[in-house]
Amino acid sequence: MVKRNLAGFTLVELLVVVVIIGMLVALLLPAVIGARASARRAQCTNNQKELAQAILQYEMAKQHFPGYTNRITYGVGPDDYRAASWATVVFPYMGREDLWHMWRDATAAEFSDPDFKADDVRVEQLVCPSDTPDEDTALSYVGNVGLEDATPFPNPDPDYSQCPPDWSANGIFHDHLREECQQPPRRAIVSLTSIKDGTQNTLLLSENIQAFSWNARDWYTAWPPQDHSSGYSPERFAGMVWNTQLAAVPTNARINENKDAISKATDITYARPSSNHTGGVVVSFCDGHQMFLREDIEYLTYCLLMSPNGAQCRYAGNTDLVDDDFRTTPLDDGMYK
């Protein structure tokens, strides 16, 4: 019987095959990474679409938008209420009635229990898939809270009876926790009819990788009441703001700037749009539509998109403290699309 010599690959042939495979991987990898990034951005856009629709349903039911912080009443006494974020109060409109009832119906004793189950629920609709937060109550999306509340709270203000000066023309989400304000202006209430500059041109939501938590109790742990005297409010934790002084805007206040510098928006300048997407952020407008907002738009354009009624914007009660360029520049689609 004649034995056959079985020829195998030579070393050179193996090296050629390895090189070819390496070249194919190098060519395909960017496409795969790009496809994954596009899929995550599409999911992020879909999350915001659901959130925007839930907020608009809330507005239809209540005839106003939610506050960035809200009052949930659980009893008949004057102190029988708890703080809730804008995300918490729209749970019934986004298919999370279970979580809403846990928050609304819990007794004071249940709510103060360290093992209160609603404190540790991750809601995937509130998290962009491009983000990797490790906390249970993660939040990737923030609301348009307008200009930062103008002056310090009275110190101390343990019963939250004082309202921070704010005006509905400055933004969409305002402080709705303090319902019994003892000084004007009282609660800033915004409805769809209040948006004089057009719902299609007024920002409702954005991403912010420094957003805090949908659980407002986390805010008050990070921001104790005795710090009211420092002149800020927890609006930074679940909101984005704009700055009236356009000539001296902090770098961190611009879209996507220094987005990896800190983990949470404990500094008001980080209460701005930011994302892990390349080149911009996914945003939603008050008419319910979404778009990818470029990070290189002018800061003035961002300010114009934030205000629902630019002609009436004011800071500390004075319209003259808002930059003249803001009042004299008309918003044009070409400025941001």
DSSP letters along 155-193, please? SS-TT--SPPP--GGG-S--EES--S-SSSS------GG
pTM for the full model? 0.84
Distance of CA 212 to the CA centre of its chain: 9
Are the CB atoms for 180 and 317 separated by under 8 Å? no
Q: Which amino acid is at 1?
A: M
- Counting every residue written for the chain, the total comes to 337
Q: Where are the domains of the chain?
A: 28-335
**Mean pLDDT of all residues in the chain?**
82
Tens-place pLDDT, residues 69-116: 888 888 777 778 888 999 999 999 999 999 999 888 888 888 888 888
Tens-place pLDDT, residues 174-191: 888 876 555 555 568 899
DSSP 219-257: HHHHS-GGGGGGS--THHHHEEEE-S-GGG--GGGSTTT
* Residue 89, both tokens: 């109060």
Distance (Å, rounded) from C-alpha 149 to C-alpha 170? 10
Distances in whole angstroms, Cα of residue 105 to Cα of each of 62, 101, 259, 297: 20, 5, 37, 44
Phi-psi region of 71 (alpha: psi -120 to 50; beta: other; left: phi over 0): beta
